[in-house]
Amino acid sequence: MLARGAKSLSRVAPPRAAAFSSGADIQLANLQVERTRSPKAKLPKEQLKFGKTFTDHMLEVDWELGKGWGNPVIHPYGPLAMDPASAVLHYALECFEGMKAYVDADGRIRLFRPDMNMKRLNNSMRRLLLPEFDGNELTKCLAELIRIDRDWVPQGEGYSLYIRPTGISTQASIGVGASEKAKLFIILSPVGPYYPEGFNPVKLCANDRYIRAWPGGTGGYKVGANYAPGILPQYDAHEQGYSQNLWIFGPDHEITEVGTMNLFIHWINEQGEKELVTPPLTRGDILPGITRDSILHLTREWNEFKVTEGNITMKQVQKASKEGRILEVFGSGTAAVVSPVSTINYMDEDLAIPLDGTDGKAGKLAERIWKELSDIQYGRREHPWSIVID
């Protein structure tokens, strides 16, 4: 029992020293640019593979305790200069974002909800006690980086420029603790369609052997330490003939995420209502996906069926499948927008998921969501989420 006046550790907020948000902030006015003298050859867009090709330039800005953020610098793409004792290399003091730029029919470059990415990156930085930054100013610097490398942004349906902002600790110390030095950098990668030949539904394995995240951990933040431990379970799933793991948690096997995506289930619930449901963020073990949030907003605007953020157990899914109440299941994320599911394996039983779309590779709702979000991203539908930068 705690002594009178003592605080429960579970209720104490993470330390947030004022020094970590003081000092100079990132400003576009201080941006310095060094252009490459050796531009790289560009691949034909049809040969692009996800995350394998990078543009001519990158953005970098350093932070130091007591001084704040230095001048942002755009310079030729290349290796980072880093002390081998940097905490990021030893204790995973790293977080990142994934976002995209698109070219519309008029040749203008658009970002999709960049404010949400900057907000989430700041949340991740805060969780690791890394310094926060002005998201609007960093977005302006990012826009300038994209303008410089605009010839790298591929045009055409499904093509985009993948953007990877990353925050790391550069504190040169073997000791575990808050960092006195940090770095933000952004690299750009042109990518092709996630499904070049149309949707390709995935088979999931509901895995109760490995746990992706838990209450009080970092599952709700986009930190690198969440991803490396998922590589072995992913390999195991492939060995068993499945595309991804369906992460479940607790004695009731509550669904959390699928692979590195959020999950949605469209079904007829036990009250006989048509419902779209996704696990809630309240427990802190699920990443607040920007695509997830966008899907919730769109479908609630339609007002055609019930839209819920609520706990889902595998027993509920199993029961709904046997009663023919599941309409479709899909994952959501930046890379694919939506990823249809054809099978869920649970307790050695394969549950078949309907795919009643136009080509039998996706459900009708997943097709509709993909089209609506793509129309916004590529500027075919004007929407406040689509920000023209060039």
pLDDT in tens, 290-324: 999 999 999 999 999 999 999 999 999 999 999 99
Residues in contact with 85: Cβ distance below 8 Å, sequence separation at least 6, in sequence order: 172, 173, 174
| Residue 37 pLDDT grade (very low, low, confident, very high; cuts 50, 70, 90) | very high
- Residues near 259 by beta carbon (within 8 Å), at least 6 away in sequence: 230, 234, 243, 244, 245, 331
C-alpha angle 315/320/324, rounded to 5°?
A: 150
The tens digit of pLDDT for each residue in 217-230 reads 999 999 999 999 99
| Position 15 pLDDT exceeds 80 | no
Mean pLDDT rounded to a whole number for the chain: 94
Q: Looking at residue 358, what is its pLDDT? A: 83
The token pair at 269 is 């619930």
Query: How is the chain split into domains, by residue range?
Result: 14-191, 202-379
- How far is the CA of 125 from the CAs of 118, 130, 182, in angstroms? 10, 5, 10
Percent over 90 (pLDDT), the chain:
91
- Residue keyed to tokens 């394995």: 205
Architecture of domain 14-191: 2-Layer Sandwich (3.30)
User: How far from 112 is each of 61, 115, 385, CA to CA, in Å?
Assistant: 23, 9, 6
The predicted structure's pLDDT at residue 96: 99
Is 27 a residue whose pLDDT tops 60? yes
Domain 202-379 CATH (choose: 1.10.490.130, 3.20.10.10, 3.30.70.580, 1.10.1040.10) = 3.20.10.10
Q: What is the pLDDT of residue 327?
A: 98
Least confident of 75-84, 157-166, 357-366: 357-366
pLDDT at 179 over 50: yes
Say if residue 5's pLDDT is above 60: no
Q: pTM of the entire structure?
A: 0.94
Can you read off the two tokens belonging to residue 290? 């920007």
H/E stretch holding 206 = strand 202-207
pLDDT band at 280 (very low <50, low <70, confident <90, very high): very high
pLDDT tens string 103-120: 999 999 999 999 999 999
Query: pLDDT by residue (tens digit) across 120-135?
Result: 999 999 999 999 999 9
